[in-house]
Chains A and B, each alone.
Chain A
């Protein structure tokens, strides 16, 4: 049974040659499909297409946001690759994302399994585990500042009480990115709910069947739960990629913007740097160029995740 689930379901689509000649059913499907996604198409054309094209265009100009953009061709892109803060911010961002995504998946899965325990008062636990996700970011960051204060924060007092070193989470360049990753985990309740919904959707019959095979807890998790959760994990990876690469608000609220990336550029992330170029330094063209470079990088990463997902994501359970 488990093996059957693990085996990638075989593709059931006609070979490519045939697909160019749309049959009647296919034409009907195309029309129907487009009809269903038409709200998105309308929204895309109305609200996104122009901003996209506009920013691509000003990426080739020198532009403060006012007056006439000055066409400078590829100069912004050339300057970008010579800008060591661009590289620094890219490095910081990839470092953060590379750490935050896997940690986030594991924590979210752990929370979801905990939220799925069959004890009667579990709604209360769920609410508590979800609680940090509903506190406004603006307030949450202040709370962490005082909790993680090396001199008087109770979190650090607790660390020291069990013999761990006192860490200056937000003031020490060696730990500041790590602190952001830890902080992000308090918002894992959001992803955990999606995972929980995924867990709830696993047909109990699968477990019952494996029970007859005498599978242990771990094997059931590995052979049934995890494969069944892969569509949700894929979602979480893409979500984590997008939010990780575009980390913005948390950094502003915790480290301020005076300058962005304190201490000593150790948390200078890509989008805050882009934002400052556009809105603080009067370099909107440069910011736009940065945006499209980041877009391409993320797209490539997303593409590889999707490409690999073909091997490990399992839809359709029959």
Chain B
């Protein structure tokens, strides 16, 4: 699969072999990758396909044996029923608010902190950085109690603040991610800028960030996705229906007594929740790719 990396660079070839070589090159650059990609996609689309088709099945058809690959009757009403199981639109609004604030916080804090851990050489820096990393190795569930005590003292329970505010102070993993990308940029770039009289903030925003769009957009995407799908945080810190998020709403399809679940409605609601993420991802890709071209123009 690594061969594709070479494709854009012209290969020198003798005139006599040019024709057959160009056919082979075409195959290697255009056909072969597609075969591999389509095979991979066939596997990776399976869960989504199953979710979508199940969302459109009737109760009876879910029990059909052998399972039907395509629903006999497309039961679009499942979507209507699904959004009535919980206050879908108000949960959507809550989730969107939390997600937007989370992305904002992550986008501001992580590059700044990562810069401090990668582009400035200060004594003890990497030791402190190891401390940053160490914090993610403490299992979260055991911290819940004490965290809740803090947020309760601040009066933040049943608000979005416990879910959002900590993100404005950087997240160890995303700091680490940005640091790894910052460190790949040659130090000379910064040195030269410093000689020209640029201060550190200018270097960060004028020189380092333009080369790090892929990393920053990845951090934003991950932060957004984390907020969008997080379950444990909202479960603990939110306390009534006016504040709940979509991930919590999904659990309402399950019965409190075991072995009963409205499977098609759950899938319909999940599909609705995934949809905006797909749209954002497609938009994100443009930033991602355009950012890459910016970054590689040195």
Contacts and interface: CB of A to CB of B under 8 A. Distances in A.
Same complex origin of A and B: yes
B192 interface: no
B232 to A, nearest CB: 8
A271 B142 CA distance: 9
B135 A137 contact: no
A132 B9 CA distance: 33
Interface string A198-242: 111101100110010000011011000100100110110011001
Given A40-B175, A51-B147, A138 B2 contact: no
A74 interface: no
B8 to A, nearest CB: 6
A65 B146 CA distance: 10
A298 B137 contact: yes
Interface string B241-262: 0000011001100000010010
A46 B169 contact: yes
A315 B183 contact: yes
A18 to B, nearest CB: 11
Contacts of B1: 110, 113-114
Given A152-B67, A220-B5, A317-B186, A123 B139 contact: no
B264 to A, nearest CB: 11
Given A134-B278, A294-B139, A316 B183 contact: yes
A123 B282 contact: yes
B139 A114 contact: no
Given A44-B135, A117-B37, A131-B48, A32 B120 contact: yes
B140 A246 contact: yes
B3 A217 contact: yes
Interface string B35-67: 011101100111110110010000000000111
Q: Which of A51, A126, A194, A291 has its CB near the most chain B CB atoms (within 10 A)?
A: A51
Q: Which of A40, A114, A302 has its CB near the most chain B CB atoms (within 10 A)?
A: A40
Contacts of B207: none
Contacts of B218: 193-194, 197
B23 interface: no
Q: Which of A26, A114, A234 has its CB near the most chain B CB atoms (within 10 A)?
A: A114
A37 B113 contact: yes
Contact of A126 (B149, B168, B180, B285): B285
B281 A127 contact: yes
B285 A123 contact: yes
A315 B195 CA distance: 23
Nearest to A158: B46
A19 B126 CA distance: 14
B100 interface: no
A37 to B, nearest CB: 4
Contact of B214 (A51, A201, A287, A290): A201
B188 A318 contact: yes
B93 interface: no
A43 B2 contact: no
Nearest to B126: A306
Interface in A81-139: 110-111, 113-114, 116-119, 122-123, 125-139
B141 A278 contact: yes
A116 B168 contact: no
Contacts of B281: 127, 130, 134
Contact of B112 (A36, A142, A234, A306): A36
Interface residues of B, number: 111
B46 to A, nearest CB: 7
Contacts of B266: 139, 142
B134 A113 contact: no
Nearest to B216: A197
Contacts of A258: 258
Contact of A35 (B11, B116, B251, B285): B116
Contacts of B221: 193
A251 interface: no
B198 to A, nearest CB: 13
A96 to B, nearest CB: 15
Contacts of A7: none
Interface of A: 13, 19, 22, 26, 29-30, 32-37, 39-40, 42-44, 46-48, 50-52, 54-55, 65, 110-111, 113-114, 116-119, 122-123, 125-140, 142-144, 146-147, 152-155, 157, 186, 189-190, 193-194, 196-201, 203-204, 207-208, 211, 217-218, 220-221, 225, 228, 231-232, 234-235, 238-239, 242, 245-246, 248-249, 258, 270-271, 274-275, 278-279, 284, 287-288, 290-292, 294-295, 298-299, 302, 306, 315-318
Given A132-B48, A137-B231, A221-B5, 20 more contacts: A22-B123, A40-B109, A44-B135, A52-B138, A127-B281, A129-B41, A136-B229, A139-B267, A140-B47, A143-B267, A146-B54, A194-B177, A197-B292, A200-B288, A220-B5, A231-B180, A234-B180, A246-B140, A249-B232, A271-B139
28 contacts: A33-B125, A35-B116, A39-B112, A51-B150, A119-B33, A119-B37, A127-B278, A127-B282, A128-B41, A129-B41, A134-B225, A134-B274, A134-B281, A138-B250, A140-B47, A142-B266, A143-B267, A155-B46, A193-B288, A194-B218, A197-B214, A201-B292, A231-B180, A238-B176, A246-B140, A278-B145, A298-B137, A302-B133
